[in-house]
Amino acid sequence: MGKSLCGAQKPAVTHRVPHPGFPLAAHRGPLHLDLSSSTQSLILNLSTTYTSLSHTFPVILVDSSIAMGSTALPYMATQPKLIFFTDFDGTITVDDSNDFMIDNLGFGRERRQQLNEKVLNETLGFRDAFREMLSSIKTPYDECIATLLKNMKLDPYFEKFYYWARDNNVPIVILSSGMKPIISALLEKFLGHKPGNHLHIVCNEVVPRDGKDINSEGGWQIQYHDESHFGHDKSIEIKPYAALPDSERPVLLYAGDGVSDLSAAAETNLLFAKAGKDLVTFCERRGMPYTTFQDWSTILSTTQDILAGKVSPADVATKSA
Ligand SMILES: [Mg+2]
């Protein structure tokens, strides 16, 4: 896209452009394209206002550590006072869709728990463990999706939160270690329609294995979002927002249930950690502030209070011992 859009040499970096939901056609200001890689984010700053993709633009590469105006950031497009970042599996859904597939279509629960134990003991990286688990699933990808559509359930109050967020200018950004087609299919089924523009999904992808069709036996594999330990460093997406000056920075909230949510949570004002799950254990171990939730009704009422200025994120957070 860099080449056709800009008429310039494509930068020699792995990139994804633009952010999901980026309002390309409607955009009238300088265009910033996120080129996140494992160690850094580069921003393509197209310094000329553009009106069509056929123009040729000068391209300037700048480091993301340079302070950016909030208009460059896609989730700031509507100037929200609060952005809600969230995990998907086990947080928006009741059960984890990947665990379900591994347990029922792959090598099973016992082997999964053995590998999880190694991850918790830090003798095996999450990235390698998760790939091994998913590799045990030989079921064609479309059949995996069909199975999940029959078995996964949405948190009973997420839909209410979703519409409240839409009506109150609160972007929802799903940061997931799962794969895009599964998340999109589940959300569409749960909501009864494709998600609106206020919901964004940043996650891993699925790609063919050994030249096969993904909808054939043993034909697919996960493609990680980045080179990080978790396959998807969720904090990368949040950092530019956390770095905004005080006068521009919205309140940043995060909800999750697992170890891969820790890095993201550290960037936000308040972490909602699902009661009884690994993330609570990790927060306790590391002395990280958090508040627990059972379902999205708690998250909704607390977020409403924060947006209304009735409480601050610091008021809500419990500092663990
Ligand atoms: Mg999760």
DSSP assignment of 200-256 equals EEEEEEEEESTT--TTSTT-EEEE-SSSSTTSS-THHHHHHHHTS-TTTPPEEEEEE
Catalytic residue set: 87, 89
- According to DSSP, residue 46 is labeled E
Mean pLDDT, residues 132-159: 97
Residue 5: phi and psi, rounded to 5, are: -75, -40
Distance 129 CA to ligand 1 centre (A): 15
pTM: predicted TM-score of the whole model, two decimal places: 0.77
| Structure-token pair, residue 120 | 């918790």
Residue 203: how many other CB atoms lie within 10 Å: 23
Task: For 193-248, write each residue's pLDDT tens digit.
Answer: 999 999 999 999 999 999 999 999 999 999 999 888 778 888 999 999 999 999 99
pLDDT at position 227 is: 87
Rounded-to-10 torsion of CA 252, 255, 257, 259: -10
User: What is the distance in angstroms between the CA of the first residue and the CA of the last residue of the chain?
Assistant: 49
278 backbone dihedrals φ, ψ, rounded to 5°:
-55, -35
Distance from CA of residue 291 to its chain's centroid?
Answer: 20
Question: Residue 1 — very low, low, confident or very high, per pLDDT cuts 50/70/90?
Answer: very low
**Sheet harboring 270-274: ordered strands across?**
220-223, 199-208, 172-179, 82-86, 251-256, 270-274, 291-293
Confidence label for 263 from pLDDT (cuts 50, 70 and 90) = confident
- List the alpha helices (DSSP H) in the chain: 2-6, 97-105, 109-120, 126-135, 141-151, 158-167, 180-191, 235-242, 262-265, 278-286, 296-307, 313-316
Residue 86 CA to ligand 1 centre (angstroms): 9
Q: Are 236 and 16 in contact (CB under 8 A)?
A: no
Higher-scoring residue by pLDDT: 308, 231: 308
CA–centroid distance, residue 7 to ligand 1 (Å): 41
| Distance between Cα 164 and ligand 1 center (Å) | 22
Q: Minimal CA–CA distance to 186: which of 122, 91, 120, 268?
A: 91
Confidence bin at 71 (pLDDT 50/70/90): low
pLDDT surpasses 70 at 31: no
Place of tokens 């999450």: 126
CA of 163 to the centre of ligand 1 (A): 22
Cα(89) to ligand 1 centroid in Å equals 4
Eight-class DSSP state of 73: S
Check if the beta carbon of residue 257 is closer than 8 Å to that of residue 278.
yes
C-beta separation of 174 from 139 below 8 A: no
pLDDT, tens digit, 9 for 90 and up, residues 85-137: 999 999 999 999 999 999 999 999 999 999 988 987 889 988 999 999 999 99
Tell me how far the alpha carbon of residue 91 lies from the centroid of ligand 1, in angstroms: 6
Checking if the pLDDT of 58 tops 60, the result is no
Residue 67's pLDDT band (cuts 50, 70, 90):
very low
* Cα-to-centroid distance, 5 and ligand 1 (Å): 36
Would you place residue 70 in the very low, low, confident or very high pLDDT band (cuts 50, 70, 90)?
A: low
User: Domains of the chain (ranges plus CATH)?
Assistant: 1-66 (no CATH), 82-316 (3.40.50.1000)
Instruction: Provide mean pLDDT across the span 172-182.
Output: 96
